Structure 1
């Protein structure tokens, strides 16, 4: 799928008499930046990103669920794309199609609406990213780890030049930028454009399971991946998988932060207290909350005002030479492969066949949706 596109980029550059180091430069090492590299052809070389521990999502597992509005989307789009509606938070168990699960699973004392989502599950996020990064060199990519990108500018003969903090420069016909929480800072510095993407500081919280309760919170015992949208607590969890005797139960959200200056230990506001209260109310006698979680790992969300993605050309002086993928708002990881295909196709073809074939209108994700409308896409409340 990407090989012809890579040839198109190379042919266009040759026709114009331009020579670049790379066809496409991907800036980032997260899931969104790793997925485009798996595509065939000599597109997707140089990587520039801050070290992952300071980046976005952390932790070993993720909880992929069908999108809450998947039923309204056509074909392959049901897997991963489409607008997110705030009414999702008003449902007690999370989505459709489904069935009531209150009597079917152990653990939380389910309240309100309860739905079981076919196709939900748990994946090993670390291994998923590692897989895509391992595929990159096999597809002709050149990966530069821990190369902090400090600038992107127009090339003297077209294309773009990417600058790193060590003074290295790489030229490319096109550039894909997926830098998560650093998007607003980088875009402002290179293009003077204000992107309405707010980093939030949050934590992955690991709680000690009370003695004798360990097995019932495992996959083998039928404990589910779940999300609880009972205001004011937006809590989600996976079964006990990563650490023996512990379960990860988190609060979705957190206070605004500066990605370069934040409290990595306790800067999540009242998130821990919210989760502890939820556990005590809905999982009494199963998880120890006295003294707080047994461990916590820092994480960041990159939030747009409407919680929908930004997938667009940067425009301005960069035109269609720079493609932005950002603002995934805490629900983008599971969509990495589809978004990666779209970003690669936009960079190399100027259009996204993956989205068109799925019947998804990318206008929903354009950055200009905030022009004169700071809240972005209208939501069905």
Structure 2
């Protein structure tokens, strides 16, 4: 089939319209005169990937020192994008981290994130009336927290990309990315349409391994996991206490089970409390009912023990929403040039491992700068180191996730 006239040559073609691709398209289109195309294989704002839903959290308390500078840069870029859009998608809240006092990840997160640890045995810290910490546990509070309305955020970056001149096309499944002469990339879709550009950014989430292997022969150790978002009923009389308006935080619990939550916000009278993890899946052949009990029962026990009298676990969560993680063996991102015959003309962002959404604006900026300039200038200026995220770090590592990243249903 002959190539469809796309109105000329695009400077950047972004493949994948989730949070990372939408942010990359916005960052690229913000360059004066840049012609940018964003292709999405499903409908825009679909629910089949990893960027949909009501909420994501933001926090700078990370055990890995490489992430707090990225989160702080992201917070600034979230503000910039919201000003550009004229509306908000991020509600600031405090952040609370808790867990066994000697847990090394918690200790590192407190230090790296600049959190303030509460005094041992104190009952005067905020939310001490909500949480009952087990003996030997501690908690720490920090100011950089918040709730991002996920689907609305993706829509915001897509509309901003269009505002700055980008072209968005959905129902465009990309099946091939190829070199066509010096400095020219051709992107082919399953419908036979072709689009031409000088640079390409691949951000297809759980489909990253399949696509990159197909077009470049490069193995990305990215394992999709099916995970579950759970909303629980707040007990009568406690509804306002757990809201952002009352100052309730986003929170994360360390230890044997990683539990995370956002305040009661999306659905009045419900609060999201979830377990980090999931079961391996194929994004094209998912069992939408998988991992239910494995991702629900531990959360119910945690709520009953640590939030007694505040959340009703009888009968399980009121709402269950399916989602996917794209996990790497070390739970860190992949941000790199594909290399080979593509050199620096094709960049991939993948493997965001269930914690990348909050950093979408700076990851998108990094991908756009790598594609258009050959280097990530903004990240370096903000003290965020992205060299760690290169594909080459996985050489010699078996192409499967670590056991702690998987929960067998």
Which range, TM-score by smaller chain?
A: 0.7 to 0.9
Counterparts of residues 257-296 of structure 1 (less than 5 Å): 257-268=281-292, 270-296=294-320
Match of 1:135 in 2: 160
Contact 1:22 1:173 in 2 (8 A): yes
Match of 2:221 in 1: 196
CA separation of 1:357/1:92 partners in 2, compared to 1, >3 Å: closer, same or farther?
closer
Contact 2:261 2:273 in 1 (8 A): yes
Match of 1:104 among 126, 132, 155: 126
SS at match of 1:32: helix
> Are 1:184 and 2:209 an aligned pair?
yes
Match of 2:266 in 1: 242
Deviation at 1:36, TM superposition (A): 1.9
Compute the TM-score of the two structures, normalised by the length of structure 2. Answer: 0.79
CA separation of 1:74/1:93 partners in 2, compared to 1, >3 Å: closer, same or farther?
closer
SS at match of 1:24: strand
CA separation of 1:73/1:225 partners in 2, compared to 1, >3 Å: closer, same or farther?
closer
The RMSD of aligned alpha carbons is 2.7
Contact 1:175 1:347 in 2 (8 A): yes
Match of 1:173 in 2: 198
Match of 1:354 in 2: 378
Match of 2:237 in 1: 212
> Are 1:32 and 2:12 an aligned pair?
no
Match of 1:341 in 2: 365
Task: Give distance in 2, aligned partners of 1:114 and 1:267.
Answer: 29
In the alignment, structure 2 segments of 5+ residues that lack a partner are 1-6, 76-102, 401-409
Task: Give distance in 2, aligned partners of 1:122 and 1:59.
Answer: 12
CA separation of 1:346/1:268 partners in 2, compared to 1, >3 Å: closer, same or farther?
farther
Task: Give distance in 2, aligned partners of 1:239 and 1:180.
Answer: 27
Contact 1:45 1:140 in 2 (8 A): no
Contact 1:209 1:286 in 2 (8 A): yes
Q: For each residue in 1:244-293, what CA deviation from the matched residue of structure 2 results, as whole angstroms up to 9, or x when unmatched?
A: 11111111111111111112234456011111111111112222212211
SS at match of 2:260: strand
Contact 2:279 2:290 in 1 (8 A): no
Q: For each residue in 1:160-196, what CA deviation from the matched residue of structure 2 results, as whole angstroms up to 9, or x when unmatched?
A: 2112222211111110001111101111111222111
CA separation of 1:216/1:359 partners in 2, compared to 1, >3 Å: closer, same or farther?
closer
SS at match of 1:110: coil
Match of 2:332 in 1: 308
Task: Give distance in 2, aligned partners of 1:255 and 1:324.
Answer: 24
Match of 1:16 in 2: none
Match of 2:57 in 1: 63
Kindly indicate which of the two structures has a greater share of residues assigned to strand: 2
SS at match of 1:284: coil
Match of 1:323 among 325, 344, 347: 347
Contact 2:62 2:113 in 1 (8 A): yes
